[in-house]
Each structure stands twice: as C-alpha cells, then as structure tokens.
Amino acid sequence: MGRDFERTDVADVDATPEQLWAAIATGPGIDSWFMGRNEVEGGTGGVVRGAFGGYRSECGIREWEPLERLVYGTDTAPDGRHIAYEFLIEGREGGSSVIRCVTSGFLPGDDWEDEFEAMTSGRALFLRTLVEYVTHFAGRVAVPVTAFGPPIPDWTEAWAKLGAALGLPARIAEGDRVRLDLDGRAPVEGVVYVADDQAVGIRTPDAMIRFMRGFRGPMVAAHHVFTPGADGEVEEKIWGDWLARVFD
C-alpha cells in the first residue's frame, strides 16, 4: 500500500522576488521560517540539507532559476518513498509577488493517510509562516529553536491548556491577541496568525512562535527568534521547561 501525492499552495505576498528567493534558497533564510537548521549549496546539482531534532534530510537541487524557480527533492528509498518541493515566484507591480509551493512524492505503508494529513497541515503552516516572515521580518535572520514537550494523550485538552497558558479563556483562534510569560523575562504580547487542529502560530515583535502536534508524539515547539544575540541552546532549554510545565 501507499500513495502518490501532489499538493499546491499559493499565496500573494507583500514582498519582492529578491526577498522571497533569499528566504527559500539560503540556509539562514530557511532557518528563519522552516523547521530546524538548514544548509544550501546553491545551483543545479547542489544540495539542501536539514536537521530537526534527530532527523536529517538531504535533497538534491534539480532546478535553480534565481528569483523564479527552485526545485529540490530526495532520492527514492527502497520502499519507494520520495518527496520533492517546487517553489515558483512571480513578481508583481508595486513590489509584491505570488509564490506557489508544490509538494509531491510517494508515501509507502498502510498508514500513509495519517502521514499525508500531517504533511498537508504542515505544508500549509510552513507557507503561512514563510508569508509572515517575508512580510514582517524580511532581511532579518532568526535563531531556530526546537523543543519537545511530554507525550499528549488528549489533544483537545492540550490545545485548551495552551490557550490558558497564553491568557485566553477559550480555544485559540486566528487573530487572537496573546501574552507569553517565560520565567525571568518580561511578558511579550503577540498575535495568532494561524490556528487549527494541528498547529498554532504566533507572531511577536521579535519572534515567530509555533506549537505543532507531533506526528504520533508530543507537543513540539518550533520557534524563530530574531532577537540579536539570542542563544539557541538557552532558548531551547527555556521552552522545553515551559512545555513541561504547561503540559505535564
């Protein structure tokens, strides 16, 4: 069993093709909106490498057309698994752009539907975060922060706990104003830019904060901190402690 898949996500962005290209085709750019830490060896035949927790990925660059088109993907595994990412940028008058993100490949196994659902939600979240980045933080480089909370037995309850920890009386919704209180730091206010059954994304003046439903696992914090001099290891410890306190 398994399934071939293809998904296209499109967004109008108040950013130039140059700003979008820097975000999708450089390691520091990808670090500032995607997951984990990333490296890019540019050009056709180059490589995009990623590291998220204990997971490592390596994708060969198949098409490299600066400011217009970028395609990269994995080799096909023995079980047939493979995935490819295509980014298409179209500049518009006035300095705005349209970006199309096409994700395609093959998912093996009897549980491909669960993985496909998680992937679909994840790609939508990443595109929204890319839009937030180039709209509000273009030119700034983030420190990526990854922290894992305890296992979640009841996700409805978990999202309610997250809402309470952010100062909300009910389930988190897009557009909500929230308050982040971390030990030893002044409270920070932010706005929710995405909220669904799989993830919550929050933008503050100096960070993009994301809480994601781990695939068969814990609540995952995958943040991007733009504060000058931020230390990734310190941030991961602070957020790991916060997750443990909220969800334990």
Give yes or no for residue 55 having a pLDDT over 90: no
Give yes or no on whether 2-136 and 143-247 have one common fold: yes
Average pLDDT over the chain, rounded to whole? 91
- pLDDT value for 74: 93
> Taking 90 as the threshold, does the pLDDT of residue 70 lie above it?
yes
**Can you give the residue ranges of every domain in the chain?**
2-136, 143-247
Q: Which tokens go with 92?
A: 């518009």
- pLDDT score at 48: 97
CB atoms within 10 A of CB 237: 13
pLDDT in tens, 146-164: 999 999 999 999 999 999 9
Average pLDDT of the residues in 42-53: 93
Domain covering 2-136 in this structure, CATH number: 3.30.530.20
Residue 236 has pLDDT above 80, yes or no: yes
Contacts of 41 (CB under 8 A, 6+ apart): 47, 48, 61
pLDDT classification of 45: cutoffs 50, 70, 90: very high
Instruction: For residue 13, give the 3-state DSSP assignment.
Output: strand
Q: What is the pLDDT of residue 117?
A: 67
| Residue 67 binned pLDDT confidence (cut-offs 50, 70, 90) | very high
At residue 116, does pLDDT exceed 70? no
Instruction: Tell me which of 3.30.1050.10, 3.30.530.20, 1.10.3720.10, 3.90.650.10 is the CATH number of domain 143-247.
Output: 3.30.530.20
